[in-house]
Chains A and B, each alone.
Chain A
């Protein structure tokens, strides 16, 4: 299991950790091949009338997320802040903090005016309707 992005604790703090908390060994399926990518990871779904963009932003407050929709481009930016008490000694830091900015280009024109975003339990969900000309048109069948 390679986890090179852990801060490597000094021997002393490692001994302290052993006295306090010791992680149980687990088989981790993804192993050393965990791919790195830009934060936040994003998924995109298409519904009949639009797109749903989801992004995992644990620990980021809604106020710290800025979303811009321009043409068919969606930009999500902000900062993930992690504050540990200044008197604390660090045993393990796996969670990353810092600024992020991601842009996603959608294949069709979207209706920026009607986009709606909800941030709940650390997951951002952005619903963006397609521009009216890309939405399916319902044609009523008249019965004679």
Chain B
């Protein structure tokens, strides 16, 4: 069976998922999600691509200053489907970040939409003050 695909030059590209090696207890591969990190005056915003993951299957936890994002697929494949052509692999997601003490960990908020996790990490009072001091000096 031959499957032909085409795409336009200059169009959006993607990259094969990076697999995270780890001695896990869960079966199946784990991938490292792509993230954006931006900083605003009051907060950091982390967005992570977790296609196939919904609110019930995402886990964000903070332990000893380490922020962990993990997710599992909400929908699986149906038996009786024979793979004919494959460009991507499916599995869970995992990525970790360490947080400085400049973040108000109590105020962290997470939301999921269309397979994208958005984390809002407010800066601590001390961190905000420091910033203001610098800008007025």
Contact = CB atoms under 8 A, between A and B. Distances in A.
Contact of A20 (B21, B47, B80, B100): B100
A40 B40 CA distance: 30
A96 B96 CA distance: 21
20 contacts: A13-B39, A23-B96, A28-B32, A30-B17, A34-B17, A35-B15, A37-B15, A37-B16, A38-B5, A41-B14, A42-B88, A59-B47, A82-B36, A82-B47, A88-B38, A88-B45, A94-B35, A120-B75, A121-B74, A122-B114
Task: Identify whether the interface residues of B are mostly helix, strand, loop, or mixed.
Answer: strand
B57 to A, nearest CB: 9
A47 interface: yes
Given A21-B98, A24-B97, A28-B32, A39 B13 contact: yes
A66 interface: no
Interface residues of B, number: 70
Interface of B: 1-8, 11-22, 32, 34-41, 44-47, 49-54, 66-67, 74-75, 77-78, 80-88, 95-100, 102-103, 112-116, 121, 123, 127
Contacts, number: 239
A44 B113 CA distance: 25
Looking at chain A, what size class is its interface with the partner chain? 35 or more
A24 B75 contact: no
Contact of B40 (A13, A21, A59, A85): A85
